[in-house]
Amino acid sequence: MVRFVMAVAASQRLLRIYHYFPVRGHSFLPCDMDFAVIKRKIRAVDRIYSIMQFVELIVAASTFNKYQVNVVSTEFVLAFKQWWPKFYKHNALSLETMNSKVLTRNEKQSFTVSEFMEFEYNSECSGNVIAKPYIGSLVTHTFRLLLALKTTVTLATAAAYEKCVPLSEKKLADLKKLEPYVPEENLCIYRVLYNWPSVDSRGPDSE
């Protein structure tokens, strides 16, 4: 995610981007109220058989047509895992600590996303990201993640999956057990899934 936002900044679409990771359980955002409204609507329904039923319930949860749902299909999922190593480093030391002669190698700050709560991206320094351990912290670390300074970064466009994403054999077997309980008007969706490509989810070391 960090490298994708860096690429957006590099594209000059936005001059400066602030990226926050609120502390779980300590953030109260305006969207929290929307989630509560949607949950009440969904809980009032006894059975849901398809994604489109979820979509209809979410849209209907607001009397002012406040909610819009975009259903994500396979072609919308891009191959970010194959994309970002072409342009960005996997890790780096912060510019503030990398040349320090006082700190040992283990004491220098490496780029560990889970250690930071705020990231800042600037289109003028698109190869760098400024990280802070807390939102609004005065302590900052600057990481140069771009592989080469003159690299022209292009956003990912290749799809992550050529076709549908396979289901695990166990999940497919569980879906087939539901067939006697699904109304006829919804069975067409499940019958498509019954012919879906599957993979063995046990793995080579499970036996």
Predicted structure pTM score = 0.71
Beta strands 16-20 and 167-168: pairing type?
unpaired
Beta strands 198-199 and 167-168: pairing type?
parallel
Q: Are residues 160 and 183 in the same domain?
A: no
**What letter represents residue 159's amino acid?**
A
pLDDT one-digit tens code per residue, 148-174: 877 788 888 898 887 778 889 999 999
pLDDT one-digit tens code per residue, 77-107: 899 999 999 999 999 999 999 999 999 989 9
> Is residue 205, in this structure, part of any structural domain at all?
no
Cα separation, 170 vs 196, whole angstroms: 13
Using only the alpha carbons of the chain, give its radius of gyration: 23
Q: Are residues 135 and 174 in the same domain?
A: no
Cα separation, 186 vs 176, whole angstroms: 13
Q: Are residues 116 and 170 in the same domain?
A: no
Q: Check pLDDT > 50 for residue 205.
A: no
Mean pLDDT of all residues belonging to the chain: 88
Per residue, what are the HEC states of 35-72?
Answer: HHHHHHHHHCCCCCCCHHHHHHHHHHCCCCCCCCCCCC
Q: Provide φ and ψ at 18, rounded to 5°.
A: -110, 125
Q: Are residues 153 and 171 in the same domain?
A: no
Arithmetic mean of pLDDT, 61-77: 89
